[in-house]
Structure 1
């Protein structure tokens, strides 16, 4: 009998963003635009972001999809949640939730990961990515550009697209396959 995969504790990454909640929300849920805080990916859907719709984070060229999932909750401008699967790992999907809370002078932004399979490549990657995402989103919203370290990293990442694993090619992750995750 196969044992269930143990799950990691919930991880929460928070930051304060000095901007109106509508501005932060609009940046977070952009589709068809390069999103520096999502490692230079473009969020693609077969329509608009709403509950039940598959989504993918893909390279600007559209040749590769690094993350796929299905929208689980979409409550503008306060919460967006989706399943999350790295296309190049065999790990099961987990859940990512973005919470926005209006506070004096701006927004408390939280990225929350749950049901992450413990001791997996997914867990390791998500631990590294959480801090980058919240810090880069904050910078993009407040200044209009990512921090300098993120800009350098994004430039280098673009050079490695031809080396992406075959498992991540977009044709391997059509939206009808994603909606069944």
Structure 2
């Protein structure tokens, strides 16, 4: 369930909480992979120059290596409990928001919180991010617990090879270099 937090008129925060029946290290290691397409991140591969660490530039790229879908800067990287980065979709010309992934050990597994902070109320980015929270949480949970993503993730991965054909030119990887 996506739960808005706070009363701010211009900036919003949203949190989803998901129980994953796996050790915290398993959830963390899956979440921060940088060497393969991640179905819970819409098939993107996390790309960095120097690894995930505070201050590092990161981007989520299409498996073809031809498109950058999301760009940002790592704000917090505290294994295995907290990872945060700015989040700007390359096909939306709006200010970035912030994503926070929080993990906590609980009886029988891991509590996974996905938090969106500083999303401009009513923006396209806010709408896309809030819409993606459930997808991310469901597909991460399914992948870890069953070894394969949820149906929505499997369908997206099947369609992935054709997505670059329909992407705007502004999303081309050369337009979004890592600093």
Q: TM-score, normalised by structure 2?
A: 0.92
Provide the residue aligned with 1:153 in structure 2. 156
* CA distance in structure 2 between the aligned counterparts of 1:53 and 1:153, rounded to whole angstroms: 28
Provide the residue aligned with 1:35 in structure 2. 38
Q: Deviations over 1:116-150 (max 9, x none)?
A: 11211101101110000001000011111001232
Question: Counterparts of 1:18-167 in structure 2 under 5 Å?
Answer: 18-167=21-170
Give the aligned CA root-mean-square deviation in angstroms. Answer: 1.1
Secondary structure, counterpart of 1:131 in structure 2: helix
- Give how far 1:157 is off: 3.9
Worse-superposed segment, 52-61 or 150-159 = 150-159
Secondary structure, counterpart of 1:82 in structure 2: strand
* CA distance in structure 1 between the aligned counterparts of 2:131 and 2:160, rounded to whole angstroms: 15
Secondary structure, counterpart of 1:137 in structure 2: helix
- Give how far 1:105 is off: 0.4
Aligned residues: 171
* Structure 1 ranges of 4+ moved more than 4 A: none
Give the unaligned 5+ runs of structure 1: 1-5, 177-181
